[in-house]
Structure 1
Amino acid sequence: MITEQIEQLFANYSSEKIDRIEKVPQSGSSRQYFRIFSGDRTYIATYNLNGKENDAFIAFTLHFKKLNLPVPSIYAVSDNSLLYLQEDLGAQSLLNILEEKGHCDEVYALFKQALKQLAKLQIKGHVNFNYDLCLTAREFGKQAIQSDLLYFKYYFLDTLGFPYDKQALLNEFEALGIFLTQNKYKYFMFRDFQSRNIMVKNNEVFFIDYQGGMHGALQYDVASLLWQAKAGLSDKWKTSLLDYYTDEVSALLKTPIDKESFNSQYKGYVLIRLLQVLGAYGFRGLFERKAHFLTSIPFALNNLKWFVENRSIGIDLPEFEKILHYLVSEETIQRFTPIKAKDNTPLTIEVNSFSYREGIPKDETNNGGGFVFDCRGILNPGRIEEYKRLSGLDKPVQDFLEQSTEMNRYLNSVFDLIDISMENYITRGFENLQINFGCTGGQHRSVYAATQTARHLRNKYNVNVMLHHTNKRNWVK
């Protein structure tokens, strides 16, 4: 198991004892993160089957660390490069703080600090940087721009079934790529510089997830941060923070930048980034069926809508313009916006976990029953001694189900089915729906599945959910 490999690598690094290991919630990538607790210190262990990606992150980190740039320290790396230990920068990202405190002076100051450090990372980090280690391409040039645009085309635009002139669009993609690559401000480009990848510890910012970096335009990264859909920054903030960033860049260069030229191309990079994000949401949400990314699509479309209505990139692209106006139409945005129950909705969802030994819970309402999902096809944690006396409410069991079974894929399929009924029931004013999850003992798999489903329904539809673990009295103690 991965935890055993972590224990071995940590033992090679330190003589200290590990108190416990907790799995950190996974994000969009396939990388798995674990927090190691040892005495009064914590560490992060990263496990990733993509060895080349690990090599890039480690090499980039060592380079930046020598320049005293705000990145985590790397403590140890496994022989096969699939596992490494790094400094724990905590659990608070800039996005977390923004969501908690809103658009206040404190958060604005953190954005300024992030942009100041970004300018240093891009310009100082560029010196003697080995771009041969880059994962995809050495440079974010015309080919890379085309790749981002095609990513958007295939994984988002083409799923909508909107008729357009494909050859004309491809020609305009090429024209946009040529326009944007005529850029004299090319240094290290972070590639995914967003508030989720900026950690805040003791009021200082640190950067993570820059392994996709390459040689490219300065404008791309600042566009990524200021136009992140989830951040929802005001136009006033975007304008003032961009001005602050360009001043910081000018202070680091021998010749101050030409702001008019810089800002003109900046708008084009904003558009590229907004479309790349839609492509990513389309791939993760529409193809991989990850709920988080599906719910993010309306935010991204509304972000794009503001840009289309208020900005011009200074190049004539008629077919592209037609497509952009379709994307930001109310019809398209509503297509991805889930129906929300009103506060006075009569609908109550009963979600149960149960044991097949005792039978399926009876529906006492007039609805006469709903969904019954059998979890017995999922590997049973109850067969493993360390989990036998725990339940699906306990984190070690949750980590096991997420990491070592098909539970995530199973639940994605469940959500696809029940969401159809949810939207229908909300629209028609129904009052009751029962959703049951069963397993052998009603203690591990069904409990986890029921809990996750209740959370999904509350978050997505704003409905009243009653969660019951019907076999709790019989759980192994």
Structure 2
Amino acid sequence: MEKIFRRLFKQHFGKPPVSILEIAGDGSSRQMHRLVGDAMETAVAVTGPDPDENRAFLSFSRSFRSIGLPVPEIYGVDEKAGIYLEEDLGETTLFDAVTMARREDPGADFPAAMVPVYQRILEILPRFQVEGGKGVDYAHAYPRAAFDRQSILWDLNYFKYHFLKLAHIPFNEARLEKDFRRFATFLLGADTRHFLYRDFQSRNVMLRDGEPWFIDYQGGRRGALQYDVASLLYDPKVGLTEPLREELLEHYLDHLEQYLPVDRERFRQHFRGYVLVRIMQAMGAYGYRGFYERKPRFLQSVPQAVRNLERILETGFVNVELPELRAVFERICGTASLRRKPAQTLPGLTVHVGSFSFKGGYPDDQGGHGGGFVFDCRAIHNPGRYAEYTTLCGCDEPVIYFLEQQPEVEEFWTSVRGLVESHVGVWLTRGFSSLSVHFGCTGGQHRSVYFAERLAAFLRQHYPSVHVVLAHREQGRWPAREQAELAAAGAAAGAASAPE
């Protein structure tokens, strides 16, 4: 995989990258890496296992770029390997920017500094929908060319099976199916001739130099204009206030009228329906990732989604009779456990992460319960065999670079991450307080340290409610000369490697 990354990078920039860094996943099956050149030129390599999804993204990207829409440039593609190299838009998503602005203005219902950003995004959205919709090749749309009746029913059943059933919300199957069919007919009464971005939410808008750029539109297809506006304004991860939603919706409609005539009353009638179907689709995803896959971070958005449903119920629901669906929503809103974030109802979890040498035996049970993992890293090529690495450890850049060139490292890491993440999800759900994860190698200096550092960083980024304690057992057993040479690196990594 990395050979392909390097080849594509060299073809575009004229020289290979000097480093390849993993980018934390977004919940999809794609893997992303940031490639950095010696002059700090960067690109993002995306590995997508689904060729149809890759084909849709690449086709749409070229169409959007051709009319000047702010989407990443595609630098190179290896279609057979499922890898493409794209422009690096940085690391700041709209969600990140809102989160940072809230910290700076904690007393505000919504940070005033972010309102112009949302306005700018909603000024660009009609161009995607109307101008972009005229140029894209819907033959490449995946999994369907349109958000039609079949697509709508898929989303509604996704909500039924992955949220209602897993959250133990009672319903009458026959009556709910009848409502689903009636609801789909109502939704398709809207104008469905334009491009539907599909996942138009705060994590799929990047901010670079204050300007919005757009990613992850590979699920796009022909559909109703209302869907994407609903996705952005009712994004549970952000929680816009109702007056601001109204203001931003009007701003969007003002700019949409530059591209086509708009019957605002009719638009709003269908808008409420698309708000509901978007909330239901998102809740299905939260249920699947959270309840089924045991990834509790996805359950953090459920309380806000419930509040959004509650707001729809309070302000008139939708202009179609859906008695069983309405009853289901009322049951959801009346379920106390769904209105509270998991972190508020479960005791804290501490994950003890550490490295050790097998020469000194297995590590002590720090959690006091005897549970957890010990991973043996000795099947991975050992940097300690080379003189230039003998005085370094697994948190030093040269060692990290060496290890990440070994093909078995990423395979080992993927397996470890999957096992640990699954257990963390179960432990949080069941209210357990401690989990131990240790990595062992021959000397406890290179491979084990590298994986312990990497896992600790991953857990801190993706599970902010989890307390991570990181320790490298063999550091105190290294000769004095080696400890002295490690001091500089240790100071830089101290915040990450010292027990919290």
Corresponding residue SS for 2:133: coil
Q: Contact 1:354 / 1:437 at 8 angstroms: preserved in 2?
A: yes
Q: CA separation in 2, counterparts of 1:227 and 1:329?
A: 20
Matching of residue 192 in structure 1 with residue 199 in structure 2: yes
Q: CA separation in 1, counterparts of 2:458 and 2:120?
A: 39
Amino acid at match of 2:30: R
Alignment match, 2:41: 41
Change (3 A) 1:7 1:217: same
Q: What's the % identity of the aligned pairs?
A: 31
Corresponding residue SS for 2:464: helix
Moved more, 132-141 or 6-15: 6-15
Alignment match, 2:421: 412
Q: Contact 2:59 / 2:136 at 8 angstroms: preserved in 1?
A: no
Amino acid at match of 2:19: R
Equivalent residue runs for 1:9-408 within 5 Å: 9-38=8-37, 39-80=39-80, 82-102=82-102, 103-184=110-191, 186-253=193-260, 255=261, 257-333=262-338, 337-339=342-344, 352-362=354-364, 369-376=369-376, 380=380, 382=382, 390-391=393-394, 404-405=412-413, 406-408=415-417
Q: Contact 2:148 / 2:223 at 8 angstroms: preserved in 1?
A: yes
Q: CA separation in 1, counterparts of 2:395 and 2:427?
A: 21
Amino acid at match of 1:437: H
Q: CA separation in 2, counterparts of 1:93 and 1:453?
A: 18
Q: CA separation in 1, counterparts of 2:341 and 2:101?
A: 28
CA offsets, 1:61-114, max 9 Å, x none? 111111111111112112526111211111111111111013333311111111
Moved more, 47-56 or 241-250: 47-56
Q: CA separation in 2, counterparts of 1:458 and 1:64?
A: 35
Q: CA separation in 1, counterparts of 2:202 and 2:89?
A: 14
How far apart are 1:156 and its partner, in Å?
Answer: 1.4
Q: CA separation in 2, counterparts of 1:190 and 1:9?
A: 28
Q: CA separation in 1, counterparts of 2:373 and 2:344?
A: 24
Q: CA separation in 2, counterparts of 1:418 and 1:216?
A: 41
Moved more, 8-17 or 264-273: 8-17
Unaligned runs of 5+ in 2: 103-109, 487-500
Q: Contact 1:393 / 1:448 at 8 angstroms: preserved in 2?
A: no
Q: CA separation in 2, counterparts of 1:378 and 1:332?
A: 45
Q: Contact 1:264 / 1:314 at 8 angstroms: preserved in 2?
A: yes
Change (3 A) 1:308 1:357: farther
Corresponding residue SS for 1:230: coil
Corresponding residue SS for 1:471: helix
Amino acid at match of 2:359: R
Q: CA separation in 1, counterparts of 2:35 and 2:113?
A: 30
Change (3 A) 1:420 1:356: farther
Alignment match, 1:470: 473
Q: CA separation in 1, counterparts of 2:432 and 2:5?
A: 47
Q: CA separation in 2, counterparts of 1:279 and 1:175?
A: 20
Q: Contact 1:437 / 1:450 at 8 angstroms: preserved in 2?
A: no
Corresponding residue SS for 1:459: coil
Q: CA separation in 2, counterparts of 1:205 and 1:192?
A: 15
Amino acid at match of 1:412: E
Q: CA separation in 2, counterparts of 1:385 and 1:299?
A: 53
How far apart are 1:363 and its partner, in Å?
Answer: 6.2
Amino acid at match of 2:360: E
Amino acid at match of 1:221: D
TM-score (norm 2): 0.82
Q: CA separation in 1, counterparts of 2:288 and 2:439?
A: 31
Q: CA separation in 1, counterparts of 2:10 and 2:237?
A: 40
Q: CA separation in 1, counterparts of 2:71 and 2:316?
A: 34
Amino acid at match of 2:75: Y
Aligned CA-pair RMSD: 3.2
Moved more, 33-42 or 208-217: 33-42
How far apart are 1:290 and its partner, in Å?
Answer: 2.9
Change (3 A) 1:107 1:339: closer
Moved more, 389-398 or 15-24: 389-398
Q: CA separation in 2, counterparts of 1:222 and 1:390?
A: 50
How far apart are 1:451 and its partner, in Å?
Answer: 2.3
Q: CA separation in 2, counterparts of 1:64 and 1:73?
A: 10
Amino acid at match of 2:298: F
Alignment match, 2:464: 459
Alignment match, 1:430: none
Change (3 A) 1:260 1:379: farther
Alignment match, 1:428: none
Alignment match, 2:440: 439
Amino acid at match of 2:73: S
